[in-house]
Amino acid sequence: WATRTLKEYIIKGFVMDDERLKQGNQVFGKDYFEELLERIREIRTSERKFYQKITDIYALSADYDKNAPATKEFFASVQNKLHWAIIGKTAAEIVYDSADATTIHMGLTNWKHAPDGKIMKSDVSVAKNYMGESHIKELNQIISAYLDLAENRAQRQILMKMRDWNQFLHGFLELSSYPILQDKGKVSALEAKLKAEQEYEEYRVTQDEIYISDFDKEVQRIRESKDEYK
């Protein structure tokens, strides 16, 4: 039953009776769905982070309430659900397991001033900064597919409420054969942050020793230039 219901959910939009659907279309007319479609397309082209695009879609729910417990739970879990689907770890677990002062760039694959700038403390607690190129690509593909389906629902004038978007994300990942996060993970965000920052304090000493600034490069260039004329 659960599998059949999820398949119906992906194909039709969400599981509901015909009377409710008719009532929804009476309340939310053509103008509503045209504006909804425009807003979804704006979310797609925005520079928002990958998980923020999912939460922005959720915020378009017909019954959206930012203070609802369901909203707080969705916002708190969406990033971890996506990371778990791709890597099998929550954001905190990725940071905790990857941050290592003894490895090159402390285990980071990206940071704010990469590739030549220094790694800052604010860089080391971001899970995405430890992800490989293939994982980033796959994550972007997931978000793109999710937005395609969200746009399709607006075009078909399918009314989506908070519960529907929450169920849809679960069904979308499951029918895409991704593992589903069943709990909050084994590492808290605070534990990951403290561990990463501790590793950073150790790594920073090494970084200062090997770092070559633009000024250092210019001094070296001048010295080498003078040596040529000796």
In this prediction, residue 11 carries a pLDDT of 46
Q: How confident is the model at residue 186 (pLDDT cuts 50, 70, 90)?
A: very high
In this prediction, residue 1 carries a pLDDT of 44
Structure tokens belonging to residue 227? 């040596």
In this prediction, residue 3 carries a pLDDT of 56
In this prediction, residue 120 carries a pLDDT of 97
Buried b (16+ CB within 10 A) or exposed e, 135-151: beebbeebbeebbeebb
Q: Is the pLDDT of residue 13 over 50?
A: no
User: 213 or 72: which carries more pLDDT confidence?
Assistant: 72
User: 163 or 24: which carries more pLDDT confidence?
Assistant: 163
In this prediction, residue 116 carries a pLDDT of 87
Q: What is the mean pLDDT of the chain?
A: 87
Q: How confident is the model at residue 227 (pLDDT cuts 50, 70, 90)?
A: low
In the chain, domain spans: 2-228
Q: Are 152 and 33 in contact (CB under 8 A)?
A: no
Give the sign of the dihedral formed by CA 185, CA 189, CA 194, CA 195.
positive
**Phi, then psi, of 104 in degrees rounded to 5:** -60, 135
Window from 25-39, 108-122, 138-152, 158-172 with minimum mean pLDDT: 25-39
Q: What is the mean pLDDT of residues 98-126?
A: 96
Q: How confident is the model at residue 18 (pLDDT cuts 50, 70, 90)?
A: very low
CA distance 52 to 189: 18
Percent residues over pLDDT 70 in the chain = 84
Percent residues over pLDDT 90 in the chain = 75
Tokens 């700038």 map to which residue?
117
Q: Is the pLDDT of residue 213 over 90?
A: no
Q: What is the mean pLDDT of residues 212-227?
A: 71
User: 228 or 117: which carries more pLDDT confidence?
Assistant: 117
